[in-house]
Structure 1
Amino acid sequence: MLTPPPTLPFPIRKECPPGACDCRRELLLDDPHADLRVLRLTKEEEKRLIERIETIASYAELLRIGQRLEEQLGIRLTIAPGPNEVRTVRGFVIDIATVPGLCRKTRQAIPAAIRRCLENRPEIAFAILDAHDLLGQG
């Protein structure tokens, strides 16, 4: 018998259609000690986040967004140059750590938004390379 989701003081993301996602949302809701912060990222909030990421104007702002994702939602974001040459933004490894409750589509949408941001603002891509000492200035 299915138990209803607990009543929470904030709106949570609706469940994905059966078989469409691997987020393990049910396990998260069944555990009374689970970190439910990631469920705060509703579809509407996700759209706002994606729009915000696409309009990032500096590397410092990108770092701040990554820090806030971790603080507010428990989502760890890692952006680094790939193991091969970085000729385009596809050469960056943008990783979202798998967190129970984080939708598969969201794990794909955030890196895609960051890539669009890097395409529109190549100076941020150069700052990432510089931070990893790939431009030889360190």
Structure 2
Amino acid sequence: MFSPIHNKLARRAGWHTSTSFKEMGNIYREIISRGSLSRGNLFLREKPWDMDTKKQKPPTDERAPILVAFGQAVRRRRKELGFSQEAFGDACGLDRSYMGGIERGEHNVALINIMKIIATLGISPSEFFSDLDGVD
């Protein structure tokens, strides 16, 4: 009733393979909830209910001070120019939500994106980075 790979997965998950097609869907749902499939191998999770795969943002006190200072400098200069986050992100060629993360100090920004931000602010890199003098 099952292919060899299905038999292997069902045995690893603790089921007998003499089940009906009706139960096959239930078996697949249970296998997926208990682990992940990779090239026919079943990797069981320690905690099947731990399904959250979203990346968790670090708490404010764990963010690198230089990233927080960089974000504050970007936010201050952006507001001086009268840009919203969305309009500024569009002008830079970056997503609005990414810009928000930068301003909160959640992203370690690539140099090319730093240069896009500085160019959009209309200042020189040395002028922008003078705002970060004294940050450890």
- Larger Rg belongs to: 2
Global fold match (TM > 0.5): no
Q: What TM-score results when the alignment is normalised by the length of structure 2?
A: 0.23
* Richer in helix (by share): 2
Q: What TM-score results when the alignment is normalised by the length of structure 1?
A: 0.23
Higher relative contact order (CA 8 A, sep 6+): 1
